[in-house]
A and B are shown apart, each in its own frame.
Chain A
Amino acid sequence: MDGMFSQLSVLGSSLVLIFGLILLWRRGVTAYIAAFRWQSIVLALVTAIVAYFAADHELYWVAGALLLLKGVVIPGLLKRMERRFPAERELDPYVNTATSLVVAGLLVLFGYAITRPLVALSQLPTRAGMPLAMGLVLVSLFVVISRKKALTQVVGFLMLENGLALLAILGTYGIPLIVELGVFLDVLMGFLVMQIFIYQIHETFESIDVEQLNHLRH
């Protein structure tokens, strides 16, 4: 049983990480939104699996909230934004695609090296997936740094949040429900603020290319 739990958690974490890598491979924002949606669904599934094996019923609620908020609401809002700015594709990032993927691989290895003490200390069967969650955090950070379009950076930030949530679930079987709900509220608020910003940027520059902000200084 334990072996099955361990395998499923690592499988789930790998899938979550792979959806994150889509941000570095594809160029269209539609693909990013789909990747985020599927990533959140898999994350909710992983939470449900942990809830089942650890017999922790609070986590079922967390999984449901994840599914609702990050699987339905936020992707819906993202799609609405994307309809406002169609055909904005990530054509010229600061780091090109193949190099980005290689850097992502190195970041995953780095994440593995960093979380070694955590994995060694933990007794939980889910500990094997923690390096992958850390890898997702680092890769999302890299996406935010190396991509130019504001929408990509927003999705990157949301995936960063997913990575942290995964780390929490795998490392400590989640955080108390009330804290989790607070975090969800923060994420929603943050997202709405970013939405306003993006509309403003588009108003001013007729594009959501964040590099244009350079023109603001004199």
Chain B
Amino acid sequence: MTPEHLLLAVVFSYGTGALAAIVVGGAVGRGLVAGCALLAALSGVMLGVICLGAEHAPTVSAPFLPLTSFSLRIDGLSAFFLILIGIVGAAVSVYGFGYSAAYEGRYSLRLLGAMLNILLLSLSVQVMADNALTFLVAWEAMSLSAYLMVLTEHDRPGTLRAAHWYIAITHASFAALVGMFLLLSAGDLTTSFSAMRSALLTPGVRNAAFVLALLGFGAKAGIVPLHVWLPMAHPVAPSHVSALMSGVVIKMGIYGLVRVTIDLLVGGPSWWGGLVLGIGTVSALLGVLYALMEHDLKRLLAFHSVENIGIIFIGLGAGLLFQSYGLMTLATLSVVGGLYHTLNHACFKGLLFLGAGSVLHATGTRNMEELGGLVKRMPRTAFFFLVGACAISALPPLNGFASEWLVFQALLGGSAIPQAEVALIMPIAVAMLALTSGLAAACFVKAFGITFLAIPRTPVAERAHESPVSMQAGMLTLAVACVALGLAPFVIVPLLESSLAGLNGFTATTVVFTPALPLQVPGTFGQMSAPLLAVGLAVLLTLVPLALRILGADQRLRVGDTWGCGRIGQTPRMQYTATAFAEPLRRIFAELYRPTRDLSIDFHPASKYFVQSIEYRSEIHPWFERVLYGGLVLVIRTTARWVRRLQGGSLHLYLLYMALAFLVLLTVARWWR
């Protein structure tokens, strides 16, 4: 099984899947789409695993384009991302088989299936790309296929607007990336990455390239303030597509940033790292704060993606910062932590979106305030969602905790930075990261508790049913991945470190992590052993009930009514609502949220002392859209209106323009020295 064979299998399977979607219809078509995508994803994982341990990176090139060839190279970083794409892609394809059954006859399944395969194919090609043109073509294919899939449910309110924002910001980021590649390759987009690595660029060009990379890849990743499309586009897409987008597509921003800044630009001055760290901290905090206020399940998850991208940026920024000071051990630690969190987030966010999709599939609504009591009606989905919720809240011994622990350790090592003013950023980043993870835990207590626990709040929740087997299988895959990744950091972390070894900025470092049972941070800063922890917890969980039985504790159990201060009967309205749960935090952070308040009281016509009805409305609009983008759109509109005056509509005016241009050209040609 050579890498070339596996690569062929990947391309061929995705292609067949895309074709099958268009040609074959019905359940068979869906099955073919899912099957081909699954096969290709698994081949991708195998390809990644093989190439991760390889000494030299296999390369493939095929003359496809007129100016240059498609050139692919699979080094350690590419292999890691291939594994990531493969795991999430496999789960999503299996899930999609059952989920898209609901679309039969209403929306175009052909487009959905075809675009799913094309998206996965372009993602895989992108991480293997070895020259600028291949990368850009794959990037554009990814953006367009994702856009078309976002538009699937086109008759629902909000979908078109979300898709517009998505494509606008994606294309702005594409423009930034084209500019960046032009700078890196001195105008020739056919240059291979290896040529770019050895190119000598002036510091000004390097800084400009870094800023463009940050803008372009940051917009795709979803950092604040370029994140506004995320909470719009991810909820309206079909749920397995949302899982893929949140789990994998935004990680392409991370891949691009690592590839460009660490590999192609070989690191830079300390302000690069500081900027990325600052942006990461702000994104993490704002992401989770806005997520807390949401009661649309998928919008909440989308904002959490912003938060986790912030955490990944914190790891990467710290890595760049340490690298600029030559502290390579700490730099490796930070970047490994960031990449580990990338993989973990892909798994648990994918799982959570698939769970939300099951809820949507079963009840038809994403609104938490209308749900409840689903844990008894969809027990397996609820369990998978709980695993995802525990993982994202960084509870040991799952995977979220392992990667956050690594990032914390990296930041705690920040005292080694010689410049004290810069070193003081680290404690602030540590505090903000801790606050973020605490708030994330609070948010997921709300999300899981209100959606799944207690009693159903509306009849649609009462009639919910468990998801079909294919959807459960998809969720099970990712849940298993979450647990496995959490229990095996001592295996994963050295693998990640070896994947970094091929990158330009990280060669010639001594091996930082040795595969031993406790994961030990170098310099004896801290140790953690997730599997031992898990074993310990499991042992205790079995011992305690046993001990109670042996020691003669009373084992009787009776089911009764919830205690309610002596009231008779309970209605669903007596439960806590999602809005009520988040109320203390809304009050505490009111300066940030600035909720609007609308109170209207209807009095009885006969007397002002009797109230007939009270209507209270409170909304929180993230002010980014209003202030930042509203201002930007206003500027563009005004400029456009002004420019429109040039188009008078009169033929003579246009003839005048042509004549003027001709005269100017003659003058310049005659007198230009």
Asked if chains A and B come from one complex, the reply is yes
Q: Which residues of B contact A98 (CB under 8 A)?
A: 588
Contact (Cβ within 8 A) B424 A112: yes
Residue in A96, A113, A116 whose beta carbon sits within 8 Å of that of B591 in the complex: A96
Task: Name the residue of chain A whose CB is nearest to the CB of B428.
Answer: A109
Per-residue 0/1 for B260-295: is the Cβ within 8 Å of any A Cβ (1 yes, 0 no)? 000000000000000000000000000000000000
**In this assembly, does A123 line the interface, its C-beta being within 8 Å of a C-beta of chain B?**
no
B421 part of interface (Cβ distance < 8 Å): yes
Asked if B588 and A116 make an inter-chain contact with CB atoms under 8 angstroms apart, the answer reads no
Contact residues on A (Cβ < 8 Å of other chain), bracket: under 10
Within 8 A of A (CB), among B412-432: 420-421, 424
**Chain B residue contacts of A109, Cβ below 8 A:** 424
Residue in A closest to B591 when the chains form the complex, CB atoms: A99
**Chain B: which residue is nearest A106 at the CB level?**
B428
Q: How far is the CB of B404 from chain A (nearest CB, A)?
A: 23
Mask, A113-143, CB within 8 Å of B = 1, is 1001000000000000000000000000000
- Chain A residues in 8 Å Cβ range of B588: 98
Instruction: Give, as a whole number of angstroms, the nearest-CB distance from A136 to chain B.
Output: 18
Cα of A99 to Cα of B589 in the assembled complex, Å: 10
A109 to B431, CA, bound (A): 14
Chain A residues whose C-beta falls within 8 Å of the C-beta of B420 in the assembled complex: 112, 116
Give complex CA distance A95, B588 in Å: 14
Which of B394-439 touch A at CB < 8 Å?
A: 420-421, 424
Q: How far is the CA of A79 from the CA of B537 in the complex (A)?
A: 58
A105: nearest chain-B partner, CB-CB: B428
- Binary per-residue interface labels of chain B (514-537) against chain A in the complex, 1 for a CB within 8 Å, 0 otherwise: 000000000000000000000000
**A116, B421: Cα distance in complex, Å:** 9
| Chain B interface, DSSP helix/strand/loop, else mixed | helix
**Contact partners of A96 in chain B: CB under 8 A:** 591
Interface residues of A in 90-115 (CB under 8 A from B): 96, 98-99, 109, 112-113
Instruction: Please report the C-alpha to C-alpha distance between residue A96 and residue B589 in the assembled complex, in whole angstroms.
Output: 11
Contacts of A112 in B (CB 8 A): 420-421, 424
Contacts of B424 in A (CB 8 A): 109, 112-113
B435 to chain A, nearest CB (A): 11
Instruction: Report how far A96 CA is from B421 CA in the complex, Å.
Output: 27
CB distance from A132 to the nearest CB of B (A): 14
Residues of A within 8 A of B421 (CB): 112-113, 116
Measured CB to CB, the closest approach of chain B to A99, in angstroms, equals 7
Closest-by-CB residue of B relative to A112 is: B424
| Complex-state Cα separation, A116 to B588, whole angstroms | 35
A166 to B201, CA, bound (A): 51
What mask results when residues 176 to 187 of chain A are scored 1 for a CB within 8 Å of chain B, else 0? 000000000000
Cα–Cα distance between A109 and B420 once the two chains are bound (Å)? 11
Bound-state Cα–Cα, A109 to B424, Å: 8
| Chain B residues, Cβ within 8 Å of A116 | 420-421
CA of A112 to CA of B591, assembled, Å: 28
User: Closest approach, in angstroms, between the C-beta of A101 and any C-beta of chain B?
Assistant: 13
A98 nearest CB neighbor, chain B only: B588
Chain B: minimal CB distance from A168 (Å): 24
Q: Quick one: closest A residue to B427, CB to CB?
A: A109
A80–B591 CA distance with the chains assembled, in angstroms: 37
Scan residues 69-87 of chain A and give those whose CB is less than 8 A from a CB of chain B. Answer: none
A144 to chain B, nearest CB (A): 22
> Which residues from A are CB-within-8-Å of B591?
96, 99
Q: From residue A20, how far is it (CB to closest CB) to chain B in Å?
A: 20
Closest to B588 in A: A98
- Chain B CB within 10 Å — which of A96, A99, A109 has the most? A109
In the assembled complex, the Cα of A96 lies from the Cα of B592 at a distance in Å of 13
One digit per residue, 1 when the CB lies within 8 angstroms of any chain B CB and 0 when it does not, for chain A 34-70 equals 0000000000000000000000000000000000000
Which residues of B581-598 have CB atoms within 8 Å of chain A's CB atoms? 588, 591
Interface residues of B in 306-320 (CB under 8 A from A): none
Question: How far is the CB of A206 from the nearest CB of chain B, in Å?
Answer: 31
Which A residue sits closest to B420, measured CB to CB? A116
Distance in Å: Cβ of B421 to nearest Cβ of chain A: 5
Q: How far is the CB of B436 from chain A (nearest CB, A)?
A: 16
Name the B residues within 8 Å of A99 (CB-CB): 591
| Residue in A closest to B590 when the chains form the complex, CB atoms | A96
Distance between Cα atoms of A113 and B428 in the complex (Å): 15
Q: In the complex the two chains form, what is the Cα distance from A96 to B591 in whole Å?
A: 9
| B529 CB to nearest chain A CB (Å) | 35
Q: Which residue of A lies closest to B419 (CB)?
A: A116
CA separation between A112 and B424, bound complex, in Å?
Answer: 10
B496: min CB distance to chain A, Å:
33
Q: Smallest distance from the beta carbon of B85 to chain A beta carbons, Å?
A: 41
CB distance from A49 to the nearest CB of B (A): 26
Tell me the minimal C-beta distance from B197 to chain A in angstroms.
Answer: 37
CA–CA, A5 to B510, complex, Å? 42
What is the CA–CA distance of A96 and B588 in the complex, to the nearest angstrom? 11
Residue of B whose beta carbon sits closest to that of A113: B421
The complex places the Cα of A113 from the Cα of B421 at a distance, in Å, of 6
List the B residue with the shortest CB-CB distance to A95. Answer: B591
**Which residue on chain A has the smallest CB distance to residue B421?**
A113
A116, B423: Cα distance in complex, Å: 13
The distance from the CB of A119 to the nearest CB of chain B, in whole angstroms, is: 10
Q: A98-B588, A112-B420, A116-B421 are in contact. List 8 more A-B contacts (CB 8 A).
A: A96-B591, A99-B591, A109-B424, A112-B421, A112-B424, A113-B421, A113-B424, A116-B420
Q: Spell out B's residues near A (CB within 8 Å).
A: 420-421, 424, 588, 591
- 10 pairs across A/B with beta carbons < 8 Å? A96-B591, A98-B588, A99-B591, A109-B424, A112-B420, A112-B421, A112-B424, A113-B421, A116-B420, A116-B421
Closest CB pairs A-B (n = 8):
A113-B421, A109-B424, A99-B591, A116-B420, A112-B424, A116-B421, A96-B591, A98-B588
